[in-house]
Amino acid sequence: MVAPFLNRTDAGRKLAKALSHYSGRKDVLLLALPRGGVPVAFEIARELKAPLDVFLVRKLGVPGHEELAMGAIASGGIRVLNDDVILSAGISDTVIERVALREQKELERGERAYRGERPITEPAGRVAVLVDDGVATGASMRAAVTALRAKQPSRIVVAVPTAPPGACEAFESEADETVCLVQPYPFFAVGGSYEDFSEISDEEVRRLLDDATRPSPSE
């Protein structure tokens, strides 16, 4: 079976066509989940002539049951908490702060590695397009949508090249628009939709973010 995408660049160009109705709009912002979402979003940003930034999110897992999220933190000082989980699990403020502090350190490491001294592009009042190279469980993307909502964008669009059947439908109640190009069945892993699914380095993320600020050759 031939993979639908050659690589993340190819996936980004194909995804850009599905988002062409946002082309040229001044209020659109591409937010990539690093690392894999960055080369995908880079191509979309080029096609739509929109700015690109990274959006880092860290799940706040319940101690001992880390797969269960009691909240999330994200780029821009965002923190959202799931009160239902916190109450049902009897989690104290002290525990929340301890977990949040640990995850904040990881988030700040990522911010320094990817963005350096570049300021965060604020999404308030803009069409924020969240991009990854695919979703498997969707946990990171759901946390990103929830966290981003706190920044009050005018619209949140989830855009991914590949996802399990029905996964994007689950986002429709959380995001304002969802675009999934392919939903393979059976779905084993995001990389199964790519011929080349090479690791993306911190250096490549930085290079793409730098390149995104420069005019394209056709401009």
CATH number at residue 62: 3.30.1310.20
Most distant CA atoms of the chain, gap in Å: 57
Q: CA 157 to CA 174: how far, in whole Å?
A: 10
Residues 88 and 48 in one domain: no
pLDDT at 181: 97
Q: Are residues 170 and 96 in the same domain?
A: no
pLDDT at position 75 is 86
Q: Report the distance separating Cα 141 and Cα 36, nearest Å.
A: 13
pLDDT of residue 135: 92
Pair (27, 134) in one structural domain? yes
pLDDT digits (tens, 9 = 90+) for 28-75: 999 999 999 999 999 999 999 999 999 999 889 999 988 788 988 988
Judgement on whether residues 27 and 83 belong to the same structural domain of the protein: no
Kindly report the number of other CB atoms within 10 A of residue 72's CB atom. Answer: 26
- The proportion of the chain whose per-residue pLDDT surpasses 90, expressed as a percent, equals 73
Please choose, from the candidates 113, 140, 76, the residue with its C-alpha nearest in 3D space to the C-alpha of residue 205: 113
Whether residue 180 is predicted with pLDDT greater than 90 in this model: the reply is yes
Q: Which band of pLDDT confidence, cut at 50, 70 and 90, is reported for residue 216?
A: low
Query: Does 139 share its domain with 47?
Result: yes
Confidence at 105, pLDDT banded by 50, 70, 90 = very high
Instruction: For residue 217, give both structure tokens.
Output: 């050759």
Mean pLDDT of 96-121: 91
**CA-to-CA separations, 193 to 121, 133, 197, in angstroms, rounded:** 31, 10, 9
Q: Do both 48 and 140 map to the same domain? A: yes
Is the CB of residue 110 less than 8 Å from the CB of residue 38? no
Q: Among residues 114, 126, 133, which one has the least CA distance to residue 56?
A: 114
List pLDDT tens digits, range 115-169.
888 888 999 999 999 999 999 888 788 889 988 999 999 999 999 999 998 888 8
104 with 29, same domain: the answer is: no
Instruction: Give 9 or 120, the one with higher predicted confidence.
Output: 9
Q: Do 174 and 144 contact (CB within 8 A), yes or no?
A: no
Predicted pLDDT of residue 59? 86
Which range of residues forms the domain containing residue 95? 58-114
Q: Classify residue 218: in a domain, yes or no.
A: no
Taking each helix axis as running N to C, give the angle between helix 37-48 and helix 202-212, from 0 to 180 degrees, rounded to the nearest 10.
10
Residue 194 lies in a domain: yes
Ramachandran angles phi, psi of 91, nearest 5°: -85, 130
Domain boundary at 48, 81, 114, which? 114
Helical ranges in 49-134 per DSSP H: 83-89, 93-114
Whether residues 45 and 94 fall in one domain? no
